[in-house]
Structure 1
Amino acid sequence: MDKTGLLKVVKKYRNEKGAIIPMLQGIQEEYGYLPGEILEELSKETSIPLAQIYGVATFFAQFRFTPRGKHIIRVCHGTACHVNGAERISSAIEEYLGIKEKETTSDGKFSVENVACLGCCSLAPVVMIDDKTFGRLTGEKIKHILKGY
């Protein structure tokens, strides 16, 4: 794997104490996720123990260890969406795509994330695909929407 992105991040933060979080953020920005071999190289380049790097990276939900899909599906599980069928929507997506939350389809097209609230409570249940919001969903509606991608 190309280490250019890693070296750029290390150069930027090399002399800053406690810069592990910004370095991980920079690596994720460069690669789209935190590749294991890049984290091993980060450990070598900075002398930060690999266990410490993984300890920080696994503590924060913002960090990903697998690539995300081209399209990010965010399923709202806030109160309004929950009482209006968010679980049925999640099940329909899982059935249609064959993946669960925090997974990516084998073709790299979709990733699914559950979120606490998308702020569209009057449209519950709601899903956001990339930057587009879909409301008043049913299992059949979400499958039809996904076919369009």
Structure 2
Amino acid sequence: MEQHQPCSNSTIAEADRKLEQIKLAIDQYKQMKGALIPILHEVQDVYGFLPEPVLQVVSAELDLPMSEIYGVASFYHFFSLTPKGEHVIHVCMGTACYIKGAQGILDRLSTELKVPVQGTTEDNKFTLEATRCLGACGLAPVLTIGEKVHGRLTPNAVPKMLKEYN
């Protein structure tokens, strides 16, 4: 049977601080038309994703049904309903990158990281995502890890590239 560690006072204090930050954002935007999107941005900035319990607070505070909140959150690609890894890898699947072998790179990353596309590694170190054009066609095939651009890649370059982030 799995044993759970009790929450420490500092963990509880941190959770309270985060929730208080969200409530301040709600108060700041509440009267604005279209308040939901900036509030969801604040939630994601604070938590790294949109946790359901926090969305329930947003729902209650804005008097919006959860279905509307999920509709907005799932419509915009920059919102995530699941936690992301420490390093988010975006593999460009635009035409130039695809033609120059992006699928092989994506497959190799999936194999090396042992995750499906749109998945996060067990250690929460990496999240692997396929994306549309990254605007670096001259470097095709290209991917980003955080803000760093990696271009002119081959599948065999993937293991060495990943070691930079371990």
Q: Are the structure 2 counterparts of residues 36 and 131 from structure 1 closer, same or farther at C-alpha, using a change threshold of 3 Å?
A: same
Residue of 65, 85, 101 corresponding to 1:69: 85
Matched to 1:118, the amino acid is L
Q: Which residue of 2 aligns with 1:133?
A: 149
| 3-state DSSP of counterpart to 1:10 | helix
What's the % identity of the aligned pairs?
42
For residues 1-149 of structure 1, the aligned pairs below 5 Å read 1-2=15-16, 3-149=19-165
Structure scoring higher RCO (CA < 8 A, sep ≥ 6) equals: 1
- Which structure 1 segments of 5+ residues have no match? none
Matched to 1:115, the amino acid is T
Q: How far off is 1:38 after superposition?
A: 0.3
Q: How far off is 1:147 after superposition?
A: 2.1
Q: How far off is 1:80 after superposition?
A: 1.4
Matched to 2:53, the amino acid is E
Q: Deviations over 1:32-91 (max 9, x none)?
A: 110001001111222111111112211221210112211121111111111111100000
Matched to 2:120, the amino acid is T
Q: Deviations over 1:8-42 (max 9, x none)?
A: 21111122243111211221122111000100111
Q: Deviations over 1:103-134 (max 9, x none)?
A: 22121111122222223323221122122222
TM-score by length of 2: 0.82
| 3-state DSSP of counterpart to 2:133 | coil
TM-score by length of 1: 0.90
Q: Are the structure 2 counterparts of residues 18 and 124 from structure 1 closer, same or farther at C-alpha, using a change threshold of 3 Å?
A: closer
> What CA distance in whole angstroms lies between the structure 2 residues aligned with 1:80 and 1:16?
42
CA RMSD of aligned residues (A): 1.6
Segments ≥4 residues shifted beyond 4 Å: none
> What CA distance in whole angstroms lies between the structure 2 residues aligned with 1:58 and 1:133?
27
